[in-house]
């Protein structure tokens, strides 16, 4: 179910970008807002209990969360779906590098060797992509770097603060939404044609909510 939902979301997001030109940061804001709403309903139904956290403890994570989703969406917007998906596979090798360099973690040689064909495959696909785009590759690279850093930080923060993923995201999502609310007016239209509050059709709104 999770795999099928993820595939559907990728195609819906691509449709919003290609057919409607929906603004990237605004789409990310919608994702964050709906994520928080879903978490609020989950905690209200007793799925988890919120834990009190200080904003300063979550701020770096919320900022990297913004970067990871924004750059990942920009990669989807600028690349083919195949290249976008394969580029995400580079997250694992980058996480291994970050944990080795920054945290002194060691990995068996057999694990390191499995990363070689992954890296080579992603490189060859990107290089020979018929719709190769330098800008798209830049967004994909930034997306992988920020996503990897975010995932490493999430694991470290969960251990440090003694919270699970839902408790952490419950504070993180609204904070990331607030950051985007401040940034969006400087980069994207808010009202009118092409803005988040623009004259979108009902079918576009339904597809947006489904993502």
Q: Which residue has the tokens 């920020």?
A: 146
187 within 8 A of 3, measured Cβ to Cβ = no
The whole-chain average pLDDT of the chain stands at 84
Domain coordinates of the chain in residue numbers?
Answer: 2-210
What pLDDT, on a 0 to 100 scale, did the predictor assign at position 1?
A: 61
> How many whole angstroms separate alpha carbon 164 and alpha carbon 101?
25
User: Model pTM?
Assistant: 0.81
DSSP 47: S
The 10s digit of each residue's pLDDT in 40-75 is 999 999 888 888 888 888 888 889 888 888 898 888
């Amino acid at each position: 179910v999770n795999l099928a939902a993820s595939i559907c979301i990728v195609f819906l997001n691509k449709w919003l970008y290609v057919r409607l030109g929906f603004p990237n940061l605004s789409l990310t804001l919608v994702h964050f807002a709906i994520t928080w709403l879903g978490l609020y309903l989950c905690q209200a139904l007793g799925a988890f209990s919120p834990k009190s956290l200080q904003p300063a403890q979550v701020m770096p994570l919320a900022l990297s969360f913004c970067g990871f989703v924004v750059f990942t969406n920009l990669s989807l917007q600028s690349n083919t779906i195949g290249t976008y998906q394969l580029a995400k596979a580079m997250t694992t090798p980058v996480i291994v590098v970050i944990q080795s360099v920054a945290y002194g973690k060691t990995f068996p040689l057999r694990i390191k060797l499995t990363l070689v064909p992954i890296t080579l495959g992603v490189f060859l696909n990107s290089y020979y992509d018929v719709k190769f785009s330098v800008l798209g590759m830049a967004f994909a690279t930034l997306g992988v770097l920020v996503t990897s850093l975010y995932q490493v930080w999430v694991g470290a923060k969960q251990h440090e603060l003694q919270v699970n993923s839902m408790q952490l995201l419950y504070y993180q999502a609204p904070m990331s939404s607030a950051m985007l609310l401040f940034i969006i007016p400087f980069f994207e239209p808010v009202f009118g044609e092409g803005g988040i509050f623009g004259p979108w059709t009902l079918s576009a709104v339904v597809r947006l909510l489904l993502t």
